[in-house]
Structure 1
Amino acid sequence: MATRSPAVPAPIKIRSLKELVDSGLQYVPETYIRPPHERVDTTSLSVPVNGSFPEKLPIISLRQSGNQLRQQIGLACKEWGIFQVIDHGFPTILKTELWEAISHFFSLPTDVKIELVSQGPSSPLFFFSGLYAQDTVSDWKDTLGFRPNRSTNLNLLPSFLREPLLKFEWKMGILAQKLIEMVFSSLRLDENIFSEIHTRRRTMTFNYYPVCPEPNLTYGLSSHSDIGSITILMQDAVKGLQVKREERWIDVEPMKDAFIVLIGDQIEILTNGHYESVEHRVTTNKTVPRMSVACFFAPSEEDVVRPLKEFVDAEHPSLYKETKFCDYLRNGLSKPLSGKTNLKFSSLKLLPA
């Protein structure tokens, strides 16, 4: 039986995990190893319940009529906090062009990657390996991020990435607007007002999960719920994303041409828990790398989110305090991912750890 090599160091700073893996890494470095109680528990993965396996995520066709679509999205938000959409009309060529551009970026030498994103504060790109938060166990991934704002210079985007990224981001914004309108319409809220507020801040991350020599010791992405309002995810054909449902972890099977929609913390706060954000994570594997594109939509940093009066009464007291989104965001980015603990920042009562 193989034993862990003492020659494998515990790196203080890894610039690119892909570079490390491509060099022939045979063990998971210490900085990526989860404590025993946090490691992948295969007995909790989609285990049978009462003799049958858990149902799959809702799959919703956007070709349906408004009322039927609204009802299905509302049910998926209420019961799951996550669903897949098909028949969305998103051009295949835009997805293909972006996949090719992102694949090219991650294939570049680390020095070139860093040079492409190190263009000063006006650069729209950022690149990191592991997590934002320091002094924590790192996640098994490399990430390229796109964070446009008023001071962003889009001309600093690499030429091979600029057009595919901007076209994809523009079209994704249209899809997100439609989806979040349906979410708020299912709540009988003014979808025009609330969808505008909750899509003001837009960011994207492009994630590369290398093969892992010891996938039981680490995660591609630790368990968490998303800080913002809604996330739209495009994943490749490699399985890895899991969602937590009734204390079980369920695989989100890759589905060709589908987008995954996840409800975030700001929707849970706004609806006083009527729609809950979904806890999810990413596992690793030994045989093939995985890539995903995550598009995050949220209020602006100056917006304030509080439970709406429509969801607060004597039987449903307010669970969350009024919170400026910039404060919630700063808190979430300052600490390691850990389930749905970010909601404690706005909670009016003690939430489970």
Structure 2
Amino acid sequence: MATIPPAEYESRVLKEVNEFMESGIGVKGLVDSGVSKLPSFFVHPLEQLPKPSSEDVQFRIPLIDLKEMETSRRVEIVSQIRDAAENWGIFQLVNHGVPIPVMDQMIDGVHQFNEQPVELKKEWLAAHLSLHYNLNRLPLAAWRDSLACNFPDEKIDEEAIPQICRKAIIEYTKYVLQLKDTLSELSSEALGLKSNYLESIKCMKSAYLISHYYPACPQPELTMGSISHTDSTFLTILLQDSIGGLQVLHQNQWVDVPCVPGSLTINYGDLMQLITNGKFKAARHRVVAKSVGPRISAAFFFSPAVAMCNESYGPLKELVSKENPPIFKPISSSEYFARHRTQLDKDTNTSGLSELMLSY
């Protein structure tokens, strides 16, 4: 078989990407068309693809029950969150206050949106392609379609949400914002600070919801639903269905995040790791592609109030000392998000505080 010259191959790939994006059919459209072989820009480098998992998994994601949180159990719950934040950066919650029917309706709303004809959803898609680049600057796509809704300063603009899933998103958002406030208090206490500390610095006043629809993949061993990354924000609250596929890196081992009925998955991001001076970890995670689906998830990312986006955040003065000096440089959230995006575009295998040269 003749080898295709690099320049010709690059031109061919870019042409495929442009045609796909112009079509607006999304990944689901590929599946509906009966595709059995992935377009080349969905095929990830072998070294970045998941290796067969070992059956003797040593670790389990921490599971925390918020039941009776306002009783003497609060001390236990805060301790569990502290342990999970310091060792994992991620944990799962049950009895979190978000009703299961509301969670189910949210999943169903995302499903209904993505099952619409292309003409009805094209204008709403956050991107028809989740695109990153390899070291040779060739595009790599994630196997998913996405819908994004932005809630700056927690203001819900109903017209910015598709009608077909508007009611479900608004109802779910109201409960998640309440849970975020609870987690803000518990996280503050886990840091040894007053319960209103994180609220007082307005680091989680804006919310960004992105829902993902991962269709069944004909060649899941060749692609990724989401590449390895850390979230750039302070806190993430994730809802996922029963399909599975989310994994977190812990002690150099990829661990499956189980689909616990009625649970939500919580993880901290880079900026939380920064202000806690490394005390709380930003969880590195990914989503593997599967031959079954669709998998549906909805993630809320929390970042500073709009008025604070250009204010610098650095290690909190209460958490540093002569014995524990600051290890990260202060940076504004807007600048950090820009650096994080640029880094992902440069190399799909790195992102995070260390790669962005924020360490002293």
| Range class of TM-score, shorter chain | 0.7 to 0.9
- Residue 148 of structure 2 corresponds to which residue in structure 1? 145
CA apart distance, 1:272: 1.0
Q: Deviations over 1:192-248 (max 9, x none)?
A: 131352221201011011111111111100000001111011100011000001111
Is 1:82 aligned to 2:98, yes or no?
no
- Contact 1:307 1:320 (C-alpha < 8 Å) held by counterparts: yes
Cα 1:298–1:54 change in 2 (3 A) is same
Which whole-Å CA distance do the structure 2 matches of 1:168 and 1:191 have between them? 25
- Contact 2:244 2:257 (C-alpha < 8 Å) held by counterparts: yes
1:186-197 counterparts in 2 under 5 A?
186-196=190-200, 197=202
Which whole-Å CA distance do the structure 2 matches of 1:170 and 1:132 have between them? 31
Q: Deviations over 1:8-58 (max 9, x none)?
A: 98433433011011111111111111112112212xx3564xxxx312111
Which whole-Å CA distance do the structure 2 matches of 1:295 and 1:270 have between them? 20
Task: Tell me the number of residue pairs that the alignment of Structure 1 and Structure 2 aligns.
Answer: 329
Cα 1:342–1:211 change in 2 (3 A) is farther
TM-score, with structure 1 as normaliser: 0.86
Paired letter, 1:186: A
- Residue 278 of structure 1 corresponds to which residue in structure 2? 283
Name the structure with the higher helix share.
Answer: 2
Which whole-Å CA distance do the structure 2 matches of 1:149 and 1:200 have between them? 7
- Residue 177 of structure 2 corresponds to which residue in structure 1? 173
Unaligned 5+ runs, structure 2: 1-8
1:288-327 counterparts in 2 under 5 A?
288-300=293-305, 301-327=309-335
Which whole-Å CA distance do the structure 2 matches of 1:164 and 1:152 have between them? 13
Which whole-Å CA distance do the structure 1 matches of 2:210 and 2:354 have between them? 22
Paired letter, 2:266: V
SS, match of residue 266 in structure 1? helix
CA apart distance, 1:253: 1.2
Which whole-Å CA distance do the structure 2 matches of 1:191 and 1:182 have between them? 7
Cα 1:330–1:142 change in 2 (3 A) is same
- Residue 264 of structure 2 corresponds to which residue in structure 1? 259
Which whole-Å CA distance do the structure 2 matches of 1:139 and 1:342 have between them? 23
SS, match of residue 184 in structure 1? helix
Which whole-Å CA distance do the structure 2 matches of 1:325 and 1:212 have between them? 35
Unaligned 5+ runs, structure 1: 1-5, 118-125
TM-score, with structure 2 as normaliser: 0.85
Which whole-Å CA distance do the structure 2 matches of 1:130 and 1:159 have between them? 22
- Contact 1:279 1:339 (C-alpha < 8 Å) held by counterparts: no
Cα 1:57–1:138 change in 2 (3 A) is same
CA apart distance, 1:333: 2.6
Cα 1:78–1:303 change in 2 (3 A) is same
CA apart distance, 1:177: 0.9
Paired letter, 1:267: M
Q: Deviations over 1:270-289 (max 9, x none)?
A: 11111110000000111222
- Residue 202 of structure 1 corresponds to which residue in structure 2? 207
- Residue 127 of structure 1 corresponds to which residue in structure 2? 126
SS, match of residue 130 in structure 2? coil
Determine which of 7, 20, 26 is the counterpart of 2:30: 20
SS, match of residue 168 in structure 1? helix
- Contact 2:110 2:213 (C-alpha < 8 Å) held by counterparts: no
Which whole-Å CA distance do the structure 2 matches of 1:201 and 1:142 have between them? 23
Q: Deviations over 1:63-89 (max 9, x none)?
A: 142111111111111111110000112
Determine which of 238, 241, 254 is the counterpart of 2:243: 238
Cα 1:164–1:306 change in 2 (3 A) is same
Which whole-Å CA distance do the structure 2 matches of 1:47 and 1:81 have between them? 23
Which whole-Å CA distance do the structure 2 matches of 1:232 and 1:158 have between them? 21
CA apart distance, 1:348: 2.6
Cα 1:156–1:296 change in 2 (3 A) is closer
Q: Deviations over 1:271-312 (max 9, x none)?
A: 111111000000011122211010111223233210123333
CA apart distance, 1:97: 2.1
Q: Deviations over 1:239-274 (max 9, x none)?
A: 100000111101111110000000111110011111
Cα 1:284–1:59 change in 2 (3 A) is same
- Contact 1:143 1:207 (C-alpha < 8 Å) held by counterparts: yes
Aligned-residue CA RMSD (Å) = 2.4
Which whole-Å CA distance do the structure 2 matches of 1:343 and 1:167 have between them? 38
Which whole-Å CA distance do the structure 2 matches of 1:47 and 1:319 have between them? 37
Determine which of 323, 345, 350 is the counterpart of 2:356: 345
Which whole-Å CA distance do the structure 2 matches of 1:277 and 1:254 have between them? 21
CA apart distance, 1:136: 3.0
Q: Percent sequence identity over matched residues?
A: 26
1:24-173 counterparts in 2 under 5 A?
24-42=34-52, 45-46=53-54, 48=56, 53-64=57-68, 65-115=73-123, 117=124, 126-131=125-130, 133=132, 136-149=139-152, 153-173=157-177
